[in-house]
Amino acid sequence: MADQPVSSVPVAPGGLSLRARRFVETQGIRVRREDVRRHRDAWLDHGIPAAEIERAGVFQDRWGGLALPPAPFYEGGPRVLGADCPEATPEGGWSFLAGDCRVSMAYGFVIGPDGAFGIDARRWTPLHGSTAGWVESLALADHARRWATTVTRVTGRAVDVLDLGAFEPVPEVQGVTDSWWRGEDSLIAVYRGEAVALDAPQCLEALVYGGLDAWGLHGG
């Protein structure tokens, strides 16, 4: 039987905020995704645990084939989300690629042993607690850019002296190394991943989105 055509209009996975669901379904594109479970026997023969193969399969069911607009950092993030063969990590456990890079990079995008979304360069660096957190961060960046009256870029050591005392963390992005902060009329995105993963403090960056009203601060 011939494969059924795949709709290019994605349906957002469950558990996302209204803002992120709207972002996925209006700006995302769904392309055909590979069934990674068809490699199960070959991967088992190479010593990959069945539970890790299934974990990659669950990721593929939920996120595989989803192409989203570029992220404001990490050279845009993965071109299309999609799992690959799980690999053992030096620290123990297993990880797998989360999708191919848009450009040539010094690191790859990886799903870690605990399900975190991050980058793997000189060291594994989790950015968000899950892929959902990464998608939420993309949606929030897109929303903030549209509604802010000012956008200020802060780099290097100046990021560490940003006064976040009056800000609260944005929980839905599940920030680990990266984080979002919500204040009275502004949002701040802090990108520490490259600085940590590459031992490169000059890569530290933050974007301050100012002049936001209540809708601009939350957006669903």
Res 138: pLDDT: 98
Res 5: pLDDT: 58
Mean pLDDT of the region 145-165: 96
Q: How far apart are CA 121 and CA 130, in angstroms?
A: 18
Percent of residues, the chain, with pLDDT higher than 70: 97
Res 56: pLDDT: 98
H-helix or E-strand spanning residue 206: strand 205-210
Mean pLDDT of the region 20-38: 95
Burial state string for 141-165 with b = 16 or more CB within 10 A and e = fewer than 16 = bbbbeebbeeeeebeeeebeeeeee
Q: How far apart are CA 203 and CA 127, in angstroms?
A: 14
Q: Both tokens of residue 132?
A: 């959902």
Q: Does pLDDT of 42 surpass 60?
A: yes
pTM of the model: 0.94
Q: Does pLDDT of 109 surpass 90?
A: yes
H-helix or E-strand spanning residue 30: strand 29-30
Mean pLDDT of the region 149-174: 97
73 closest CA partner among 105, 27, 96:
105
Model confidence at 1, pLDDT cuts 50, 70, 90, reads very low
Do residues 115 and 98 touch, judged by C-beta distance below 8 A? no
Q: Does pLDDT of 77 surpass 70?
A: yes
Model confidence at 3, pLDDT cuts 50, 70, 90, reads very low
Full DSSP string of 75-141: GGSEEEE-----EE-TTSSEEEEEEEESS--SSEEEE-TTS-EEEESSSEEEEESSHHHHHHHHHHH
Res 27: pLDDT: 96
Q: Both tokens of residue 150?
A: 């000012």
Do residues 65 and 7 touch, judged by C-beta distance below 8 A? no
Q: Does pLDDT of 186 surpass 70?
A: yes
